């Protein structure tokens, strides 16, 4: 255990550039198929996806596991970028760390107001002027988008996304699991960088990371 921690500390250098360039650790959680739905809330906290700046919203969503243009156009009825409702799938993603939240149609008047291209879109409160960004991003630069999924979209696509693997801020994952300790009991096996760790070690070791790759596996270890 001590050797494992020392090796990991060598890799997590204090220099910011070195940390950014270092390969991400991979955390694999083995759980039963019947329990994977309890972990879908991870995607509500936000996962990180790197794309080229100015990539259109539609292209970005269609590259997510299980998504297609038809599904996005038909099912993704509510979209927010940095808290602002968006109607046009051609909207370019820009800024250093934009946040995209998507869901199916929401109930009630609020749902009608924020529904994409809905009849009541005119009732939305006009946002104030956007603050001047500290960093301007060129069109060919890579940016990090935080994607959040909700309601039907989460239930439809969440399992496939988590099985495919996501990049998530370790602080978000630790916070999610600490508030839902019962989920730790559902984890049958955990490995970090191909090294098996105990569930008791999981939160402390993961907490040392900035971001990491997370994958949920419902297969038996000998089937991997």
**Domain assignment present for 208:** yes
**Domain contains 60:** yes
Return the H-helix or E-strand segment holding 103.
Answer: strand 99-103
In a domain, 210, yes or no: yes
**Residue 26 within any structural domain of the chain:** yes
pLDDT at 1: 47
pLDDT of amino acid 81: 96
With a pLDDT cut of 70, the percent of the chain lying above it is: 72
| Residue 11 maps to a domain | no
Residue 16 covered by a domain: no
Q: Categorize the per-residue pLDDT at 208 as very low, low, confident or very high, splitting at 50, 70 and 90.
A: confident
In-domain check, residue 13: no
Q: How many Å is the maximal CA-CA distance in the chain?
A: 61
Distance CA 124, CA 45 (A): 25
Residue 7: inside a domain: no
Name the domain count of the chain. 1
**Residue 125: what pLDDT?**
61
CB atoms within 10 A of CB 165: 17
Lowest-pLDDT range of 42-51, 57-66, 121-130, 188-197: 121-130
Tell which wins on pLDDT, 18 or 67.
67
pLDDT at 11 over 70: no
The domain containing residue 160 runs over which residues?
22-124+134-223
């Amino acid at each position: 255990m001590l050797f494992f921690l020392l090796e990991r500390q060598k890799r997590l250098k204090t220099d910011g550039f070195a940390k950014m360039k270092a390969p991400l650790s991979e955390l694999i959680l083995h759980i039963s198929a019947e329990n994977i739905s309890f972990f879908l809330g991870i995607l509500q906290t936000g996962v990180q996806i790197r794309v080229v700046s100015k990539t259109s919203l539609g292209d970005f969503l269609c590259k997510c596991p299980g998504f297609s243009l038809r599904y996005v156009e038909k099912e993704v009825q509510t979209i927010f970028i940095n808290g602002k409702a968006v109607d046009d799938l051609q909207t370019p993603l820009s800024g250093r760390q934009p946040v995209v939240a998507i869901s199916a149609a929401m109930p009630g008047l609020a749902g009608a107001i924020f529904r994409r291209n809905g009849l009541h879109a005119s009732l939305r409160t006009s946002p104030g002027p956007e603050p001047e960004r500290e960093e301007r991003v060129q069109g060919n630069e890579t940016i990090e988008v935080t994607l959040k999924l909700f309601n039907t979209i989460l239930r439809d696509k969440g399992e496939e996304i988590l099985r495919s693997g996501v990049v998530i801020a370790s602080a978000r994952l630790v916070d999610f699991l600490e508030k839902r300790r019962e989920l730790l009991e559902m984890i049958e096996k955990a490995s970090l960088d191909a090294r098996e760790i105990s569930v008791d070690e999981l939160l402390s070791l993961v907490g040392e990371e900035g971001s990491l790759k997370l994958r949920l596996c419902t297969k038996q270890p000998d089937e991997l």
